[in-house]
């Protein structure tokens, strides 16, 4: 939670973030982004259960990521033009309908291509709660708080938002696993639809929703679109794409591993082992010394992921799988916080919502594509081959960390 003062005086000099948002905003924003974290895994679980194929399930998840990657940034642009409230309300309604359509199509006696089409619609309509939450808070801090307290509040808030994203994204699959185990494979998709209708709508209607900006305001505050193609920003997007690949390869290979033992629905619960360590170490980032800079963190924690993935690639028992997941979790949480921190620092003026949407779409695309490839490998080459893929994904996170080190070697971004 952002560590800001709790004085709620309306006086501008004593204004705080809480006085403008209300305390309830923060839990609301966390729950509202949970469906986003449940979608890829929920679709994978649903299709594997209904169609009996890890390969088809992985391809369905890949379609979710493809839809999000193509349409997600356009949803962010629509929020800038038309305002967050109408954009989120339309997106929430469309996403709930798409989830319902997918749940029906998965069990219906129809071609699998219709299932893939429904999965694409699910990804394309996912409400972009996380980047819009950042946009709201940044707008409040920079325009309504005293100049002497704004920088520190902004830094703390962005760190909190990154940690909240990471925790939700890791524990989303755990929720999916619990619902699938207790109620059935259809439950996670239905649950995501209900959460979207209730909490995303509530988030859209919250008083903090950023209104549309006029053409003149956009022209005065937007950096050129070409600034989004700077190498330092692109390596950040590629790095978080690699984290998405880790998520997708680990979860799908774990699903194949457990399916071979007749317990595919339990994969999401076992995945929580990685989530526990990830959440603990993500929250501990605030305690790190300033001398342990973001550049070093990227290298150190991606190396932890490589170590964990190495264990997973050789695991033959549930015990060794748990050990590999735990070690991977130590690196995943802090690395996500680190990359989001770079993303916030490198966002061109007026483009922070776009950058955050790019990062969110990249991680979902990575997870989805990895699920598709890993599922196909598990079907054609076996579980052992699928278990090697997380190591390849982990290698990409380390490679982008090295590239980031080189790119920021002599700039102020080498913090």
37-70 tens-digit pLDDT: 788 778 888 888 888 887 788 788 888 888 988 8
Tokens 């939700």 label which residue? 168
Higher per-residue confidence, 342 vs 143: 342
pTM of the entire structure? 0.78
Domains and CATH numbers, the chain: 34-407 (1.20.1250.20)
- Rounded to whole angstroms, the Cα distance separating 342 from 288 reads 16
Of the listed ranges 9-13, 79-83, 109-113, 217-221, the one predicted with least confidence: 9-13
Residue 310: the pLDDT is 94
pLDDT for the residue 410 = 52
Take residue 97 and report the two structure tokens written for it.
Answer: 């309908």
Q: Collect contacts of 99-103 with beta carbons under 8 A, ≥24 apart.
A: 99/39, 99/189, 99/190, 99/192, 99/193, 99/196, 100/190, 100/193, 102/43, 102/46, 102/189, 103/46, 103/186, 103/189, 103/190, 103/193
Q: Work out the pLDDT band at 170, boundaries 50, 70, 90.
A: low
pLDDT band at 251 (very low <50, low <70, confident <90, very high): confident
| pLDDT tops 70 at residue 270 | yes
Cβ atoms of 57 and 45 within 8 Å: the answer is yes
- Give the chain's radius of gyration (CA, Å): 21
Split at pLDDT 50, 70, 90, the class of 414 is very low
Query: 37 versus 331: which is more confidently predicted?
Result: 331
pLDDT tens figures, 153-168: 776 776 677 677 767 8
| Mean pLDDT calculated for residue range 307-323 | 87
For range 360-371, the mean pLDDT: 82
Mean pLDDT of 204-228: 72
- What is the mean pLDDT of the segment spanning 362-376? 83
**Euclidean distance between CA atoms 167 and 332, whole angstroms:** 10
């Amino acid at each position: 939670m952002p560590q800001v003062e709790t004085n709620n005086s309306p006086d501008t000099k004593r204004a705080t973030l809480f006085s403008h948002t209300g305390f309830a905003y923060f839990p609301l924003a966390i729950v509202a982004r949970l469906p986003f974290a449940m979608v890829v895994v929920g679709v994978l679980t649903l299709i594997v259960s209904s169609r009996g194929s890890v390969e088809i399930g992985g391809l369905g998840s890949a379609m979710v990521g493809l839809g999000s990657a193509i349409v997600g940034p356009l949803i962010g642009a629509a929020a800038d033009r038309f305002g967050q409230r109408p954009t989120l309300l339309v997106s929430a309604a469309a996403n709930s309908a798409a989830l319902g359509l997918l749940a029906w199509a998965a069990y219906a006696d129809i071609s699998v291509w219709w299932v893939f089409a429904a999965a694409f619609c699910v990804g394309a309509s996912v409400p972009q709660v996380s980047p819009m939450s950042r946009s709201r808070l940044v707008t409040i801090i920079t325009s309504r708080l005293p100049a002497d307290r704004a920088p520190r509040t902004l830094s703390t808030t962005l760190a909190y938002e990154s940690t909240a994203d990471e925790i939700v994204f890791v524990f989303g699959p755990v929720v999916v696993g619990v619902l699938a185990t207790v109620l059935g494979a259809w439950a996670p998709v239905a649950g995501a639809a209900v959460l979207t209708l209730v909490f995303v709508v509530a988030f859209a209607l919250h008083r903090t929703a950023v209104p549309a900006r006029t053409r003149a305001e956009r022209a005065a505050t937007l950096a050129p679109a070409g600034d989004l193609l700077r190498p330092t920003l692109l390596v950040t997007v590629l790095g978080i794409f690699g984290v998405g690949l880790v998520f997708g390869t680990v979860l799908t290979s774990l699903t194949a591993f457990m399916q071979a033992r007749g317990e595919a629905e339990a994969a999401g619960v076992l995945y929580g082992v990685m989530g526990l360590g990830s959440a603990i170490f993500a929250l501990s980032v605030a305690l790190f010394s300033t001398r342990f800079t973001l550049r070093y963190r990227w290298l150190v924690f991606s190396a932890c992921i490589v170590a964990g993935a190495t264990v997973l690639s050789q695991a033959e028992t549930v015990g060794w799988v748990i050990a590999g997941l735990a070690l991977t979790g130590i690196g995943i949480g802090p690395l996500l916080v680190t990359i989001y921190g770079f993303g916030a620092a490198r966002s061109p003026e007026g483009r922070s919502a776009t950058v955050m949407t790019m990062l969110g779409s990249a991680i979902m695309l990575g997870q989805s594509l990895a699920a598709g490839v890993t599922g196909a490998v598990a079907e054609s080459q076996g579980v052992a081959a699928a278990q090697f893929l997380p190591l390849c994904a982990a290698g990409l996170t380390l490679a982008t960390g090295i590239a980031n080190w080189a790119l920021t070697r002599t700039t102020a971004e080498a913090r």
